Amino acid sequence: MGFILALTDLRVGPYSIIGIVMLMISISIILNWELRWRQPRKIITGGTYSKVRHPFLSGLLLALYSVPTIFNSLPSLTIAITATFMIYYGTLQEEKELVNKYHNYRIYMEQVKYRFIPHII
């Protein structure tokens, strides 16, 4: 593990800031695409959707938190935490739209209590 950290520059510089901005923009694009352009025809309730309402975003969050865990990087952890708030806010907006669009989405929300991680959130 030490050799990986030796090969990794954890200093925050101009390129790090650019990377952070790019990541935040990409998350905004993903959320905007999910909220505005993707038009599902019905509510999917099987498979992982029977455990959490947003399994794709669960995977994204897992990936975001894996980077600071692997590299012991405080800047990466800061990005992951910021992205978590952005993703959470995006799902609140998305779920409002889904409740308005699909009358049975509220029932689905009552059946599947968790957005991202079963028994946690």
1-55: per-residue pLDDT in tens?
Answer: 444 455 455 666 666 676 667 667 667 656 654 554 555 677 888 888 889 899 8
Q: Give per-residue pLDDT as tens, 69-105.
A: 777 788 888 999 999 999 999 999 999 999 999 989 9
Structural domain contains residue 98: yes
Count of domains in the chain? 1
Compute the CA torsion angle 17, 19, 20, 25 (nearest 10 deg).
130
In a domain, 74, yes or no: yes
Helices (H) and strands (E) in the chain, counts: 5, 0
In a domain, 21, yes or no: no
The residue range of the domain holding 72 is 56-121
User: Is 110 a member of any domain?
Assistant: yes
Q: The tokens 């994204």 sit on which residue?
A: 60
In a domain, 75, yes or no: yes
Report how far residue 74's alpha carbon sits from residue 18's, in angstroms, rounded to the nearest whole number. Answer: 17
> Is the residue at 92 inside a domain?
yes
| Element of type H or E holding 15 | helix 14-32
Question: Would residue 99 count as lying in a domain?
Answer: yes
Is residue 14 in some structural domain? Answer: no
- What's the half-sphere exposure (Cβ side, CA atoms, 13 Å) at 59? 4
Return the sign of the alpha-carbon dihedral for residues 23, 53, 34, 88: negative
